[in-house]
């Protein structure tokens, strides 16, 4: 397949394959198409082809619903009585470190003692290769202390996703919630207990949402989370009905 084969007809077939055969949601189709466009643009800039059809490739991105934990739910997981050093104790520490720092799990699993300072972490992120300084809350310092002594064990992301669901269930995070996704422009909805939808990425989104609710300026939260644009950042912000009502009451009264 040559560069001239990347036509609008190809884009139609490609997105149909992603939607029907791969069963991808609209947001994932958009991501795949954007990656392809970036590659073709990179090649064009270097004189490898002159086909400009790729610039017209498009797919509407409709974001799925955002799941985050409340402060109370994070505390419920933190307060679980678990055997020290057990797989659930280890998984809880990894998950909570994401809630406390906003780091992606890929960065948490790569943490080493040399990244740890008295009140902060200093890392080069895996995804963007950017240098970041992450302030550590007291609760996070207790967890990173386990990294210093080698008692916190990184595990695979799929396994941790299973274990955090188990933790959330033990913590009583079982309120029924709605999960919304979009595929081919259609709204797909399912309902279930909240713990069933918790993943490692929930921790990062929880950090962003709770930091904003606690009054930290958006620009500072974006710096900590490593987001450079509002378009990317907003996919991590979950303004719940309760938090909106509390903010309204704080300004205008009950």
When pLDDT is averaged across residues 77-89 and rounded to a whole number, the result is: 96
Three-state SS string across the chain, please? CCHHHCCHHHHHHHHHHHHHHCCCCHHHHHHHHHHHHHHHHHHHHCCCCCCCHHHHCCCCCCCCCCCCCCHHHHHHHHCCCCCCCCHHHHHHHHHHHHHHHCCCHHHHCCCCHHHECCCEEEEECCCCCCEEEEECCHHHHHHHHHHHCCCCCCCCHHHHHHHHHHHHHHCCCCCEEEEEEEECCEEEEEEEEHHHHCCHHHHHHHHHHHHHHCCCCHHHHHHHHCCCCHHHHHHHCCCCHHHHHHHHHHHHCC
Please give the residue that has the higher pLDDT: either 234 or 1: 1
Please give the residue that has the higher pLDDT: either 100 or 188: 100
Which tokens go with 209? 């949402």
C-alpha to C-alpha distance for 242 and 41, rounded to whole angstroms: 44
C-alpha to C-alpha distance for 99 and 237, rounded to whole angstroms: 13
When pLDDT is averaged across residues 223-236 and rounded to a whole number, the result is: 66
Q: How many CB atoms lie within 10 A of CB 29?
A: 23
Model pLDDT, residue 90: 97
Tell which phi-psi region holds residue 150, choosing left (phi > 0), alpha (psi between -120 and 50) or beta. Answer: left
Token match 């992301």: residue?
A: 157
Model pLDDT, residue 9: 92
Please determine, for residue 245, whether its predicted confidence score (pLDDT) is greater than 60.
Answer: no
Model pLDDT, residue 136: 93
The correct CATH number of 71-252 out of 1.10.940.10, 1.10.443.10, 1.20.1070.10, 3.40.1000.10 is 1.10.443.10
Which of 30-44, 74-88, 210-224 holds the top average pLDDT? 74-88
Domain with CATH 1.10.443.10 in the chain: 71-252
């Amino acid at each position: 397949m040559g560069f001239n084969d990347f036509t609008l007809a190809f884009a139609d077939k490609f997105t149909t394959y992603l939607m029907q055969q791969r069963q991808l949601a609209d947001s994932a189709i958009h991501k795949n198409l954007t990656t392809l466009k970036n590659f073709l643009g990179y090649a064009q800039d270097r004189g490898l082809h002159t086909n400009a059809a790729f610039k017209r490739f498009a797919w509407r991105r409709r974001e799925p619903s955002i799941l985050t934990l409340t402060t109370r739910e994070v505390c419920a997981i933190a307060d679980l009585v678990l055997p020290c050093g057990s797989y659930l104790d280890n998984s809880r520490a990894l998950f909570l470190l994401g809630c406390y720092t906003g780091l992606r799990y890929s960065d948490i699993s790569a943490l080493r003692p040399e990244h740890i300072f008295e009140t902060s972490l200093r890392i080069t992120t895996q995804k963007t290769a950017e240098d970041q300084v992450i302030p550590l809350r007291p609760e996070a310092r207790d967890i990173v202390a386990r990294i210093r002594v080698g008692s916190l064990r990184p595990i695979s992301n799929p396994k941790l996703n299973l274990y955090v669901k188990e933790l959330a269930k033990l913590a009583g995070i079982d309120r029924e919630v709605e999960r919304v996704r979009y595929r081919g422009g259609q709204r797909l909805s399912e309902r279930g207990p909240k713990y069933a939808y918790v993943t490692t990425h929930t921790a990062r989104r929880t950090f962003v949402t709770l930091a904003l609710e606690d009054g930290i300026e958006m620009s500072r939260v974006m710096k900590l989370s490593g987001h450079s644009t509002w378009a990317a950042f907003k996919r991590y912000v979950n303004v719940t009905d309760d938090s909106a009502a509390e903010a309204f009451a704080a300004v205008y009264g009950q």
